[in-house]
């Protein structure tokens, strides 16, 4: 390895010396052909130095190392740049993901808030509707209760009024019946005073007549509704009514009492009712 390192510089030195000698020789031959005045030639001497093969090797190794270092530096720089780009992309992606997540979260939160707002609004609306329905139901129940109470009160008032009316009607009916009895007795007494019992009459005979009156007390008709079996007895009964003609006291009666009791009066005749 060391022999080879010396060969190259020696060859280079020999080549240089050969070129110098050739140049001198050529110049000398050219000048001898011409008769020229020789002029002095200035020869510049050049000192040739033989390169140190060890230094050259070290220099070469240094160059190689520098090239390797530059290549390594370039690779490291490229790797660093690539890593930086990757990191930058990763950071950008992370930032974009974070931003996207933040936007998605914001949208989700807004959607959730909107849904909650709608749910709260619906709940409040439902509660309000339920409260309103309950209030209406209570009002309707109260109205029905009041109506029921009013109907009950009205029914009690009607029943009380009817009871009072019935009581008054009953009292009036009793009073009318008592009055009618007295007037019936008066009518019978008036007619009996005009009855002439025939000699053929016997105890146990019964005859009934229907006497029709008008409000003035006048007798408008008389009919025999039950015969005694004795023609003279029956005829005497009809004649007694006809002789009476009128009962003046009847015109003092209330119209409803007259219509109920004295529009048509049935009178029974028995021989034992009068003394002969």
Give pLDDT tens digits for 49-105. 566 778 888 888 888 888 888 888 888 888 888 887 768 887 778 887 767 887 678
Task: Read off the pLDDT band of 111 (50, 70, 90).
Answer: confident
Average confidence (pLDDT) over 189-205: 93
Query: How many Cβ atoms from other residues are within 10 Å of residue 179's Cβ?
Result: 16
Instruction: Among 29-43, 137-151, 218-232, 242-256, name the one with the lowest average pLDDT.
Output: 29-43
More confident residue, 107 or 113: 107
CATH number of 194-273: 3.30.1150.10
Exposure string (b/e) for 180-202, b if CB count within 10 Å is 16 or more?
A: beebbeebbebbeeebebeeebe
Please give the pLDDT value at position 191: 94
- The percentage of residues in the chain with a pLDDT greater than 70, rounded to a whole number, is 83
Question: Does the pLDDT of residue 19 top 60, yes or no?
Answer: yes
CB 264 within 8 A of CB 210: yes
Question: Does the pLDDT of residue 34 top 60, yes or no?
Answer: no
Question: Does the pLDDT of residue 20 top 80, yes or no?
Answer: no
Please give the pLDDT value at position 142: 93
Please give the pLDDT value at position 242: 95
pTM above 0.85, yes or no: no
Residues of the chain with CATH 3.30.1150.10: 194-273
Question: In what side-by-side order are the strands of the sheet with 207-213?
Answer: 219-226, 207-213, 264-269
Token pair listed for 252 = 């003092």
DSSP secondary structure, 51-81, as one string: --HHHHHHHHHHHHHHHHHHHHHHHHHHHHH
DSSP designation for 272: G
Please give the pLDDT value at position 28: 46
Mean confidence (pLDDT) of the chain = 83
Average confidence (pLDDT) over 207-230: 95
At 130-179, the pLDDT tens digits run 989 899 999 998 999 999 998 999 999 999 878 888 888 888 788 878 87
CB 274 within 8 A of CB 195: yes
Please give the pLDDT value at position 265: 94
Helix, coil or strand: residue 47: coil
């Amino acid at each position: 390895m060391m022999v080879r390192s010396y060969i190259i510089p020696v060859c280079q030195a020999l080549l240089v010396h050969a070129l110098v000698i050739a140049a001198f020789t050529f110049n000398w031959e050219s000048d001898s052909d011409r008769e020229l005045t020789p002029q002095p030639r200035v020869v510049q001497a050049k000192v040739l130095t033989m390169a140190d093969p060890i230094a050259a090797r070290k220099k070469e190794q240094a160059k190689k190392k520098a090239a390797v270092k530059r290549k390594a530096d370039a690779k490291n720089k490229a790797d660093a740049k690539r890593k930086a780009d990757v990191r930058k992309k990763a950071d950008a992606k992370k930032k974009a993901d974070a931003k996207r997540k933040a936007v998605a979260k914001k949208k989700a939160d807004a959607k959730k808030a909107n849904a909650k707002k709608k749910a709260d609004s619906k709940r409040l609306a439902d509660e309000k509707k339920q409260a309103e329905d309950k209030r209406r139901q209570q009002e309707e129940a109260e109205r029905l209760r009041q109506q029921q109470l009013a109907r009950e009160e009205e029914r009690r008032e009607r029943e009380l009024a009817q009871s009072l009316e019935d009581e008054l009607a009953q009292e009036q009916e009793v009073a009318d019946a008592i009055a009618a009895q007295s007037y019936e007795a008066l009518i019978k007494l008036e007619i009996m005073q005009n009855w002439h019992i025939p000699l053929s009459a016997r105890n146990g005979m019964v005859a009934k007549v229907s006497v029709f009156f008008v409000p003035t007390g006048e007798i408008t008709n008389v009919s025999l509704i039950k015969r005694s079996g004795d023609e003279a007895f029956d005829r005497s009964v009809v004649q007694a009514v006809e002789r009476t003609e009128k009962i003046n006291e009847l015109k003092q009666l209330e119209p409803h009492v007259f219509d109920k009791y004295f529009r048509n009066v049935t009178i029974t005749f028995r021989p034992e009712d009068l003394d002969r």
